Copies of this chain bind each other. A is one copy, B any other.
Amino acid sequence: MECHKAPEGAKGSIKHYKQNISVLVSPKVCGSCHNVEKEQFTKSHHAKAAKILGSLDNVLAEVVEGKASMALNGASPAAVSGCWQCHGSEVKVLPNGDLDPATWPNTGIGRMNPDGSVGACSACHLRHEFAVEQVRQPETCGKCHLGPDHPQKEIYEESKHGINYAANKHKMNLASPKWIPGEDYDAAPTCATCHMSATRTLPITHDIGDRISWTLRPAISEKIDAKDLKDGKNVKHWEDRRADMQSVCQSCHAKPMIANFYTQFDSLVEMYNDKFAKPGAALMKALRADKLITDVEFDEKIEWTWYLLWHHEGRRARHGAAMNGPDYTHWHGTFEVAERFYTKMVPEYLEILDKAEKAGKKEAVERAKAVLDEILKRPEHVWFTGNESPEVKAARKKAIEEFSKRYSN
């Protein structure tokens, strides 16, 4: 049991059949044999997953949903059994040498280990098999990448990639050491194929963002290197990442299809950004600027509305388009984004202005109203107020008639 070996008396170690062992095997240990993988992982976005613990985002699990003092050792159970199980905890050793139950068991991908290393290889490489065929299967990524805010597993399963995988798993040669698409298998890719595994032209990588060109995480999407470039960091350019991903696509698809697919994907992301995300952010900014809502996060309904719009529904639309899951793009995505924007966000905004007006904040209300009015006058929103021009209506009617004529049988 080389990997578990711990010096006598080391913190967090226990006696196990006469040997002193560490119950926690950190990337530092794994890296003593697998250093390349450990280094790639350590500079990846995955390794930063637990940074959420110190961010304001954390207010949800710590304050709104739970309360730190309601559980053992000052942690909120909503964070312990929720957020941290994916993001990772800051593992603490109690004075008696035991691991703090608020922080362990935990195999969150960004776990902060007592030995100073970051990550948990066992987040994906499940004990004790550590089988390469297990970690290449989509269920592995589905430990975290599923659900209302990032349903990558569900989108994959709906996509033709996932359908072909389900039908042909037994032909996927999943235990092959090199596992090159086009050589070892050609039925379908899994998550690993596109984001991590080697191809005829690319090496394997444990830096999960290496082939990703957009970040679909924030309220408003930007190219994945945008923030780092702004911060003056020297990182792989998004075009190089995209070129690498497209080279993966070429293991099975021809270039015109790949190019057209990316045009469709980019268009959806930009449409979401321009029609809903930037306007939504502008509305929230207008309310905050004039103190029409409080500084406290999530105490007003519109804060939940906006959060659900971008963090849940807006992401689903973008992820759906990224991975070809039309049900997620549309019904779980843009359909719900539009419903929330028009039937919740706008009315709640107007209600806030109404109350503020009654409270005598006339100028603030005027400023905020102007922001909304400008948005709703844009061509993509003008239908909502019934102010589409007769020309636009006529053009749409004509297009429908011509379509009907072409396909009248």
Contact = CB atoms under 8 A, between A and B. Distances in A.
Nearest to A294: B386
A-side interface size class: 35 or more
Interface stretch (A136-144, A212-220, A232-240, A278-286): A136-144
A221 interface: no
A228 to B, nearest CB: 15
A179 interface: no
Given A70-B270, A263-B101, A63 B326 contact: no
A357 to B, nearest CB: 18
A65 interface: yes
B264 A81 contact: yes
Given A23-B256, A67-B271, A160-B126, A81 B403 contact: no
A134 B168 contact: yes
A27 interface: no
B104 A334 contact: no
A70 B403 contact: no
Contact of A380 (B16, B70, B86): B70
Interface stretch (A32-40, A71-79, A199-207, A362-370): A71-79
A66 B142 contact: no
B134 A167 contact: yes
Interface string A331-367: 1111101110011000100000000000000000000
Contacts of A63: 383, 396
A83 interface: yes
Contact of A274 (B50, B70, B396): B70
Contact of A69 (B101, B304, B379, B383): B379
Given A107-B160, A139-B162, A335-B65, A271 B77 contact: yes
B105 A147 contact: no
A326 B99 contact: no
Given A80-B268, A320-B81, A383-B296, A335 B60 contact: yes
B133 A334 contact: no
Contacts of A386: 294, 296, 299
Given A129-B168, A134-B167, A404-B54, A339 B70 contact: no
Contacts of A112: 407
B101 A379 contact: no
B267 A71 contact: yes
A291 interface: no
A257 B23 contact: yes
A67 B167 contact: no
Contacts of A101: 259-260, 263-264
B82 A304 contact: no
A216 to B, nearest CB: 13
A334 B86 CA distance: 15
Interface string A104-134: 1101000010000000000000100101011
- Ordered nearest first, which 5 A-B pairs have the shortest CB separation? A82-B330, A54-B403, A85-B326, A101-B260, A134-B167
Given A77-B264, A129-B187, 13 more contacts: A54-B404, A61-B334, A65-B338, A69-B379, A70-B274, A72-B263, A77-B270, A81-B326, A82-B331, A86-B326, A105-B260, A143-B159, A301-B347
